[in-house]
């Protein structure tokens, strides 16, 4: 079987990271493809540097470190498609690969998981809050500069265990952690959420809550048709706008930047916010009719980025797109 194609008898091979979250979200995609093609779909687990290392993500090159090994397996013909968390995917396109499907996005918000069911405002001064995200660190400092923000790595269960303890002996040495709602829901752990942090005041990473299904550009046949069937155009347009903000600013997927877009009444709304490490911020928002342009996401992002730079975004955080 040639890479990127599938027959009705041979299994379709779906490449994925081996974390519980990656396996859970990849299985959902696998089930959808199997239902549409009539072919079995098997998961091919791929180890990445981001999974093996406990170093801060910024020192490894940002969230994109999770992507490289998975893409290499796809290019080597070890699998027919791969599934990424879209927020981890670099914005630069790959000449041999394509995003064949972006399924409908789930909840894009961040959530607080805290002891004693506390909200962010209820945490005591000096409380220890864990996160591995520069954006979340800046947002925490802006909202509560009296908290101790602790760098955090590890899978979802490990992070929750740092707050609530767990049966594997993880020490509960934090008062709270900030995690993505989508990941908690996909793992069936949303019961531990003590506060949903609203997008308007707490914008999240571009693409958060969405998955990306990547294949060779030459993908064809039943697999291509199945992927077209699970693609969600409104989600694709929205996340394209968010990711275009990152690309135009040349900020990188670990930058202290939040962006969120959605479509309502035929209009695309896009808002973005850039933070300094100390929590200072600049923000911009624009809207346009989707049908008024061939590239609504790109056009909205250009307007937002121009305003962000005029407001001094490049002075708050390193931005390669400063001009």
Residues 6 or more apart whose Cβ sits within 8 Å of residue 116: none
CA 25, 30, 32: angle at the middle one, nearest 5?
A: 100
- DSSP 3-state percent helix, strand, coil across the chain (nearest 5): 35, 25, 40
Q: Phi then psi for 100, rounded to 5 degrees?
A: -75, -25
Nearest CA to 272 among 175, 199, 219?
199
- The β-bridge partners of 131 are 151
The CA distances from residue 145 to 71, 127, 263, 272, 282, in Å, are 39, 11, 34, 22, 18
Residues 6 or more apart whose Cβ sits within 8 Å of residue 295: none
Q: Which residues are catalytic?
A: 87-88, 135-136, 153, 159, 253
CB 272 within 8 A of CB 203: yes
Q: Phi then psi for 305, rounded to 5 degrees?
A: -65, -45
Interatomic CA distance for residues 7 and 296, integer angstroms: 36
Residues 6 or more apart whose Cβ sits within 8 Å of residue 61: none
């Amino acid at each position: 079987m040639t890479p990127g194609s599938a027959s009705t008898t041979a299994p379709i091979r779906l490449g994925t990271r081996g974390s519980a979250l990656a396996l859970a979200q990849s299985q959902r995609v696998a089930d959808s493809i199997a239902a549409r093609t009539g072919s079995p779909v098997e998961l091919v687990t791929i180890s990445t540097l981001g999974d093996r290392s406990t170093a801060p993500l910024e020192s490894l090159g940002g969230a994109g470190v999770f992507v490289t090994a998975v893409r290499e397996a796809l290019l080597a013909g070890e699998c027919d498609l791969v599934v990424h968390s879209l927020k981890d995917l670099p914005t630069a396109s790959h000449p041999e690969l394509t995003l064949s499907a972006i399924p409908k996005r789930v909840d894009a918000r961040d959530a607080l998981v805290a002891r004693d069911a506390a909200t962010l405002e209820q945490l005591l001064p000096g409380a220890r809050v864990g996160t591995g995200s520069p954006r979340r660190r800046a947002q925490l400092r802006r909202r509560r500069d009296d908290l101790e923000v602790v760098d955090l790595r590890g899978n979802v269960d490990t992070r929750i265990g740092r707050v609530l303890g767990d049966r594997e002996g993880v020490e509960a040495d934090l008062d709270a952690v900030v995690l993505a709602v989508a990941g908690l829901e996909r793992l069936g752990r949303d019961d531990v959420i003590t506060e949903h942090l609203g997008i308007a005041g707490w914008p999240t990473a571009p693409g958060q809550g969405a998955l990306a299904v990547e294949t060779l550009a030459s993908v064809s046949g039943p697999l291509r048709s199945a992927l077209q069937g699970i693609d969600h155009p409104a989600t694709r347009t929205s996340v394209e706008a968010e990711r275009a903000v990152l690309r135009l600013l040349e900020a990188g997927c670990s930058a202290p930047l939040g962006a969120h877009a959605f479509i309502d009444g035929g209009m695309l709304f896009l808002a973005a916010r850039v933070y300094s490490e100390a929590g200072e911020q600049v923000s911009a928002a624009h809207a346009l009719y989707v049908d008024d342009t061939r590239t609504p996401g790109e056009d909205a992002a250009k307007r937002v980025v121009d305003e962000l730079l005029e407001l001094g975004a490049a002075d708050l955080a390193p931005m390669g797109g400063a001009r």
